[in-house]
Amino acid sequence: MALRVLVSQHRVFFAAATALYLGMAAATASAAPIKILALGDSLTSGYGLPPGEGFTDQLGQALKDQGVTATVINGGVAGDTTADGLSRLDWSLADDPTVVIVELGGNDALRGLDPAVTKENLDKILTRLQQQHRGILLAGMLAPPNLGSDYSASFNPIFPDLARQHDVTLYPFFLDGVAGNPSLVQPDGIHPTAQGVAIIVQRILPSLHEAIDKTRNTD
């Protein structure tokens, strides 16, 4: 009789200990920071801004303010085209990010590159990221008006088309709310000021959360 009681107590203790361990493991996993890579050009690299004021720094702080434990990796290189981003994609993923913000294409447009080539490069980037089961937020870009309506008609649909094709989250225009506002861009008329970056971050956050949630739901 005493042996049966002892065995029963042991089973109860073992079950409780197992539940406690699993609960602690789950809590640790949920507290683990999500890694977010901003793969882009000068708009994500923080061009012309002091430390702490660039896109990735402000995005990381905004996520922290929302209670999200995240590491935001600055993968922006000034002057990069979509071809450059594709060529350095593998080593840009060295930190194994869960979600990648793809912000490329602006320099393609500024140089008047063939939109078909831009689309092909972005398609390859998105395909490779999806093959690696990474979450994706595709940040769109619009062609400068001075390139003409024909160029814009070919370039601007690239991003929504690819977002539909790959079923990824789209933020239609990275510079939304900032482009064309002299008080929010640097003297070059292109790159955002720190205040401009703050607006970009606040506007892009809902789309980023959507991309994060989509990734978690497919795990």
Q: What is the pLDDT of residues 143-190, one digit of tens each?
A: 999 999 999 999 999 999 999 999 999 999 999 999 999 999 999 999
- Residues identified as active-site: 42, 188, 191
pLDDT of residue 215: 87
- Tell me the pTM: 0.85
70-108: burial string, b at 16+ Cβ within 10 Å, e else: bebbbbbbeebbbbbbbeebeebbeeebbbbbbbbbbbb
Among residues 175, 202, 170, 171, the alpha carbon closest in space to that of 186 is found at 175
DSSP 94-123: TT--SEEEEE--HHHHHTT--HHHHHHHHH
CB 100 within 8 A of CB 125: no
CA distance 199 to 177: 7
Measured in degrees and rounded to the nearest 5, phi and psi for residue 137 equal: -120, 115
- Bridge partners of 38? 74, 101
Which residue positions in the chain have pLDDT lower than 50? 1-31
Q: How many CA atoms lie within 13 A of 124 on its CB side?
A: 14
Q: H or E stretch including 51? A: none
* Helix spans in the chain (H): 2-31, 42-45, 55-65, 82-87, 89-92, 106-110, 115-131, 149-155, 158-166, 194-217
pLDDT of residue 216: 80
CA distance 69 to 67: 6
**Average model confidence (pLDDT) across the chain:** 89
Q: H or E stretch including 34? A: strand 34-40
pLDDT of residue 5: 40
pLDDT of residue 33: 82
Q: H or E stretch including 45? A: helix 42-45
CA distance 208 to 97: 14
- Name residue, tokens 């350095």: 88
pLDDT of residue 32: 64
Q: Given this structure, which CATH class describes domain 33-217?
A: alpha beta
Domain ranges of the chain: 1-32, 33-217
pLDDT of residue 10: 42
pLDDT of residue 129: 98
DSSP-derived secondary structure letter, 147 = G
